Structure 1
Amino acid sequence: MAFRPCLRPGLLLLRRDAGHLQLGTSPGVVVRDEPGLLALLRRFDGTADLARLRRHADDVGFAGDVEAVATDLRVAGLVLAGIPRPARPVTSVLLDHDHATAPLADAVAALLTESGHRVVRRGAAADLTVVLAAGEPPRALFRAAQEARDDHLRVVVEDERVRIGPLVRPGLTPCIHCHDLHRTDWDRGWPALLTQLGSPGTLVVPPALPVATVHAAALHVLAEVDAYARGQDAGASHCVAVGPGPFDADTWPIGFHPACGCELLLVA
């Protein structure tokens, strides 16, 4: 395939002074100017091969070696071979949410769609199910997903925060029960609270998050889905809590709990 020089996307092409050009501003690379070089570099947009660029060089009066210019800038990381078309792994995602988390689910859906992932309706097959709930969801939902070996991500809106994770790939990453057992190790009242999840009246007033925090949390969900699509989540697990402000975020790891048998799925 012919080499079609393309300046790195977003790279500014500027004149620094009478004798130099500058590519980029962070901090940028300075090159010695020559007659016709600026006009030539403006054609480094990934659409023309070297033969066409040589003809353009003649038209603009550039007497240098076009291939040498393109190669030197490519070595410096300023020029790519053609217009970049990154292969972005995508996945199908089912958003399972309650009424109170509808604004967050809408924000997540918009980001997933814009990023190329496929958001499917309830009842359709999906690679990953994202469960969004105001307050901890009942555990029967996650037990069913674990038994069916359906990958799932928990997103909980509680108080002034959104807690994202863990993303569970049954048999490969720690499950929600692992998380509950770890919490029970330091909070002996947690098992009693678990029995009340999903009961009427436990959520008296629905959450009211700032719009900026909702979108910040949606970005974190997108990041989790992107990592899942690339397979970067295998063998590791964590939770991220966003809020109360959009720049407030805490992350902590979640490991397999020795009292949980979910690792047995590896050999099942």
Structure 2
Amino acid sequence: MDLRLPPGVPIVWRSPTELQLGGTTARAVIKSPSVSAERFIESLRSPGTLEQFHERGARLGLSSAEVRALLDSVSTLLDAPPSQQRKRSARTARSGSGRPPVVLVRGTVAGDDIAEHIAALGCAVRRAGEDYQPPLPAEIGLVVDCADYVLPPRRYTPLMAADVPHLAVIAEDDGATVGPFVLPGRTPCVRCDDLNRLDADRSWAAIATQLAVTSRAPLSRLTKELVRSLVSNSVSSWLTDGTASAYCASDTWTIDALTCEIRRTRRSFHDECGCRALPGSEKRAARRPAARRTARASDAGASVRA
């Protein structure tokens, strides 16, 4: 299979002796690279197999050991070109994983329609407005739920009841958040986030009610690209690995619109949310009396920020 460095990853010098792959975040650092090593790293932007990479290195005067060391240093960055990702995802989708590989994209992210970027992965995609209720669960394998500021319970509650995986994508005042990727009964849900936030800020229910009817101005071009990339990676991983995907976990990915840095946040179940009692849960939560604030949070709206 062909591999390459993603085109959006810059190659810069941290110092006169350190080569960095990555912009605001150092994703790989190579110390004291030779001119040949630098040229070899640059050549990885062009797709090739591991055998072809070794041939490139040999032409530049690098030994097999030097090529292996350089490839090891950037191994986490090497990925298949989009065309091969689409073929791989399509093959996985056709093989079947118990759920039809139909992805419903509901709503937009600050007016940005991300459906076409998901369709490029080779799966069947349907578009719908934010209030559309899909025929569940037979026809839809995954719902990508897009919203501005908050995701109302009326949108995710039916998905939880029907045991449909769903990915929240939220445009916020300071950027955007991708996640949670919810597996009902197995990972913390959007309502868990709602209740955790209400614990931290008693005013959240009133704030969420107002934000639920507020539209956000369009995101910057770079922030849009980062959102699309994170969503595409999440959906591609789900198509390939199903519920074993690394993205189907208790994490959210928050993009800072000013710095374009991406922050990963680990989320947790909330004791007053009953999502762990759903079928498929490894551990059913004990029933607890519903507090008055829980009802207020459900009626108000939901946030995906942890």
**TM-score (normalizing by structure 2):** 0.55
Matched, 1:191 2:209: no
> Which stretches in structure 1 are left out of the alignment for 5+ residues?
1-5, 30-83
Q: Among the aligned pairs, what percent are the same residue?
A: 25
**SS of structure 2 residue aligned to 1:28:** helix
The CA distance in 1 between the partners of 2:210 and 2:258, in whole Å, is 29
User: What is aligned with 2:149?
Assistant: 135
Over 3 Å counting, the alpha-carbon distance change for 1:196 and 1:148 in structure 2 is farther
Q: Structure 2 matches for 1:203-218, cutoff 5 A?
A: 203=215, 206-218=216-228
Alignment match of 2:104 (pick from 89, 94, 104): 94
Render the CA deviation track for 1:36-72: whole Å, top value 9, x for unaligned.
xxxxxxxxxxxxxxxxxxxxxxxxxxxxxxxxxxxxx
Q: Structure 2 matches for 1:31-42, cutoff 5 A?
A: none
Contact map agreement 2:188 2:275 (CA 8 A) in 1: yes
The CA distance in 2 between the partners of 1:14 and 1:139, in whole Å, is 54
Q: Structure 2 matches for 1:228-247, cutoff 5 A?
A: 228-229=238-239, 230=241, 231-233=244-246, 236-245=249-258, 247=260
Over 3 Å counting, the alpha-carbon distance change for 1:139 and 1:15 in structure 2 is closer
Contact map agreement 1:168 1:175 (CA 8 A) in 2: yes
User: What is aligned with 2:183?
Assistant: 169
The CA distance in 2 between the partners of 1:170 and 1:224, in whole Å, is 17
**TM-score (normalizing by structure 1):** 0.62
> In the comparison of the two structures, how many residue pairs are matched?
198
Matched, 1:112 2:107: no
Contact map agreement 1:161 1:242 (CA 8 A) in 2: yes
Matched, 1:156 2:170: yes
Render the CA deviation track for 1:64-101: whole Å, top value 9, x for unaligned.
xxxxxxxxxxxxxxxxxxxx998443432111114x63
1:233 positional shift: 4.7
Over 3 Å counting, the alpha-carbon distance change for 1:10 and 1:253 in structure 2 is farther
User: What is aligned with 1:11?
Assistant: 53
Rg larger in structure: 1
> Which stretches in structure 2 are left out of the alignment for 5+ residues?
1-47, 69-83, 94-100, 129-133, 282-306
Over 3 Å counting, the alpha-carbon distance change for 1:12 and 1:246 in structure 2 is farther
Matched, 1:264 2:277: yes
Alignment match of 2:196 (pick from 182, 202, 215): 182
Over 3 Å counting, the alpha-carbon distance change for 1:7 and 1:145 in structure 2 is closer
1:147 positional shift: 1.7
The CA distance in 1 between the partners of 2:267 and 2:103, in whole Å, is 23
User: What is aligned with 1:66?
Assistant: none
Give RMSD over aligned pairs. Answer: 3.3
Matched, 1:221 2:260: no
User: What is aligned with 2:262?
Assistant: 249
Q: If each structure's strand is expressed as a fraction of its own residues, which one has the higher value?
A: 1
Contact map agreement 2:110 2:218 (CA 8 A) in 1: no
Over 3 Å counting, the alpha-carbon distance change for 1:134 and 1:10 in structure 2 is farther
**SS of structure 2 residue aligned to 1:227:** helix
